């Protein structure tokens, strides 16, 4: 059973997720109140509207019987010095970690734990992540799957709060986007292969895709104009357009299109020194998000 994530973020697929501090910590310290620094972090994260893969996978398990093994990618982290790609890839890796736990793939969880530690080191946020990565490996060795789910939650949160501490807030946007896109790819595959309208409804969030694209557009110029970031933003806008075409329930064919679009950009994120071709036409212009 999944422990609910602390709601510091707006909903993804109708579910709130991600926390700076564990739920128990807030309950324990409620009478004392949050420190100004904790409040500042919470407000910042809450403004991002970023995803959390564990909760959507838990919801999918309730409406489907996924074969998680078929989604368990045996891919390694990309070799790159580009911070934008590293941050996006950390998000993809975290989602792959949840999938590996669902598939109960002990070796893949261990590989992902090591990759997360290596990439966190490359991003300069490794010190507080080393213990988490070692815990992932230890729990995988012991087949402690519930503990692994909780540790993945903690690892994802710690990566992001460490980025805040080190003035790398922009990387949170990229990490969250990478996690969401990989989660959407996996979820689209599951629902299209075991189609149900209830399951398809979980994924119909075009405004969320646009909000994530808007977050990328608001990045500093160097990150915003990174070729891979431009490719990810274009994909998010394309996904939003696809989802808007079927507002009352995504068809199997539409889910397959979403899986195809997300799969291409996940592959680019996961490829060493990924440098997608610059689009021949200008990057799509974001339209205002309807309320």
d(CA 187, CA 167): 33
Give tens-digit pLDDT for 246-285.
988 899 999 999 999 999 999 999 998 745 544 444 555 5
Give tens-digit pLDDT for 93-151.
989 999 998 999 989 988 988 888 888 888 877 666 767 777 888 888 888 888 888 88
pTM of the model: 0.76
Task: Read off φ and ψ for residue 7, nearest 5 degrees.
Answer: -85, 85
Terminal CA-CA length for the chain: 33
Enter the tokens of residue 109.
Answer: 């969880």
């Amino acid at each position: 059973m999944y422990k609910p994530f602390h709601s510091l973020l707006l909903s993804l697929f109708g579910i709130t997720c991600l926390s700076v501090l564990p739920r128990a910590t807030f309950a324990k310290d409620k009478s004392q109140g949050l420190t100004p620094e904790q409040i500042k972090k919470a407000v910042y994260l809450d403004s991002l509207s970023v995803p959390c893969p564990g909760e959507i996978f838990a919801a999918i398990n309730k409406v489907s019987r996924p074969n998680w093994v078929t989604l368990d990618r045996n891919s390694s982290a990309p070799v790159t010095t580009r911070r934008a790609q590293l941050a996006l890839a950390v998000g993809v890796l975290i989602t792959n970690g949840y999938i590996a736990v669902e598939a109960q793939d002990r070796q893949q969880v261990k590989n992902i734990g090591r990759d997360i530690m290596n990439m966190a080191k490359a991003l300069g946020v490794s010190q507080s992540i080393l213990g988490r990565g070692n815990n992932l490996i230890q729990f995988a060795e012991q087949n402690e799957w519930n503990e692994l789910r909780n540790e993945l939650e903690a690892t994802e949160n710690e990566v992001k709060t460490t980025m805040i501490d080190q003035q790398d807030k922009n990387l949170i946007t990229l990490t969250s986007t990478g996690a969401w896109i990989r989660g959407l790819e996996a979820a689209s595959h599951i629902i299209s292969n075991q189609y149900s309208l209830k399951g398809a409804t979980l994924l119909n969030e075009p405004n969320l895709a646009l909000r994530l694209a808007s977050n990328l557009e608001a990045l500093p110029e160097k990150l915003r104009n990174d070729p891979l970031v431009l490719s990810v933003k274009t994909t998010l806008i394309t996904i939003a357009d696809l989802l808007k075409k079927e507002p009352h329930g995504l068809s199997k064919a539409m889910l397959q299109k979403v899986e195809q679009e997300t799969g291409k950009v996940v592959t680019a994120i996961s490829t060493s020194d990924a440098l997608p071709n610059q689009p021949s036409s200008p990057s799509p212009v974001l339209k205002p998000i309807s309320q």
